[in-house]
């Protein structure tokens, strides 16, 4: 279990994410404020880091009201702010280590998990700066959407055949921590940036396929630290998430598919990789 004070921080943050995904932006942002104040009080964020956070959120809030070309400049600054948080380049965030070199199974390599405070902030800023972030909605094309599970399953099987993974069915006792963190913080932030902003932004000015392609390639590039094979697999998985967004018109569907893929990896294979 998490220490109670830290549970309050990330509990408020997770609920804020869910409210904003449900298009209840005002109560969601109010809970975000509660989470940040708790983090400041409990020294999970320093005052300079909080000022940097608030500056980015205020800029994002004002961005839609600006006229061209200032709106584009402001959006570029918000994007730079978001990338700095995603890459953990901003000092002053004491992200909580909840798992330290644990094993998902006997054939898995050690795994460490942090509950990040900086990365989830990206979602809120992009929602303020780009009001259409959550997607246009509309009818869901269920049949092709369900078929996207096939190429994603093929990715896991290919990784197995290449020796990066091995079958290892079962869930470790900390699966719920992984699930909450992956769904509410990791997948939400990544899908908001790559599918909600980048893919939609390019598709609106060019072609849908170009938006999906560009967002997928950039998503792959974001996994540079894992090596060329992981970059390729992330780009291919990102294309599936991008198609899910296009077929549903909802960012939440891309987030859910992203999470289900990651959870299937944990439940059915060695995580994050197979030990040598």
SS3 151: helix
pLDDT at 276: 80
What pTM, to 2 d.p., does this model score? 0.96
Query: Which helix (DSSP H) or strand (DSSP E) does residue 115 occupy?
Result: strand 111-115
| Cβ contact 13:35 at 8 Å | yes
Q: What is the pLDDT of residue 1?
A: 63
The pLDDT profile of the chain, 276 residues, written as one tens digit per residue, is 678 899 999 999 999 999 999 999 999 999 999 999 999 999 999 999 999 999 999 999 999 999 999 999 999 999 999 999 999 999 999 999 999 999 999 999 999 999 999 999 999 999 999 999 999 999 999 999 999 999 999 999 999 999 999 999 999 999 999 999 999 999 999 999 999 999 999 999 989 999 999 999 999 999 998 899 999 999 999 999 999 999 999 999 999 999 999 999 999 999 999 998
Torsion of CA 126, 129, 131, 134, to 10 degrees: -10
pLDDT of residue 4: 84
- Burial level of 109, CB count in 10 A (0-12/13-18/19+)? middle
Residue with tokens 């040598």: 276
DSSP, res 72:
H
Question: What span, in angstroms and rounded, lies between the C-alpha atoms of 266 and 234?
Answer: 16
Q: Is 97 exposed, middle or buried (0-12, 13-18, 19+ CB in 10 A)?
A: exposed
């Amino acid at each position: 279990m998490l220490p109670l004070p830290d549970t309050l921080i990330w509990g408020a943050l997770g609920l804020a994410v869910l409210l904003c995904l449900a298009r209840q932006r005002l109560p969601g942002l109010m809970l975000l404020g509660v989470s940040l104040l708790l983090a400041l009080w409990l020294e999970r964020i320093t005052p300079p880091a909080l000022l940097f956070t608030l500056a980015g959120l205020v800029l994002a809030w004002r961005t839609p009201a600006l006229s061209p070309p200032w709106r584009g400049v402001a959006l570029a600054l918000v994007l730079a702010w978001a990338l700095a948080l995603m890459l953990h380049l901003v000092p002053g965030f004491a992200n909580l280590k909840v798992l330290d070199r644990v094993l998902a199974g006997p054939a898995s390599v050690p795994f460490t998990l942090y509950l990040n405070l900086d990365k989830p902030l990206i979602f809120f800023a992009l929602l303020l700066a780009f009001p259409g972030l959550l997607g246009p909605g509309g009818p869901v094309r269920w049949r092709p959407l369900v078929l996207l599970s096939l190429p994603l399953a093929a990715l896991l099987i290919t990784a197995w055949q290449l020796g990066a993974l091995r079958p290892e069915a079962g869930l470790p006792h900390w699966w719920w921590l992984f699930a909450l963190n992956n769904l509410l913080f990791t997948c939400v932030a990544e899908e908001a940036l790559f599918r909600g902003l980048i893919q939609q932004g390019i598709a609106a000015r060019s072609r849908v396929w170009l938006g999906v392609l560009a967002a997928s390639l950039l998503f792959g590039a974001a996994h540079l630290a894992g090596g060329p094979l992981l970059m390729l697999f992330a780009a291919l998985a990102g294309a599936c998430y991008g198609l899910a967004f296009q077929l549903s018109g909802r960012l939440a569907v891309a987030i859910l598919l992203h999470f289900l893929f990651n959870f299937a990896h944990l439940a059915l294979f060695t995580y994050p990789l197979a030990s040598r």
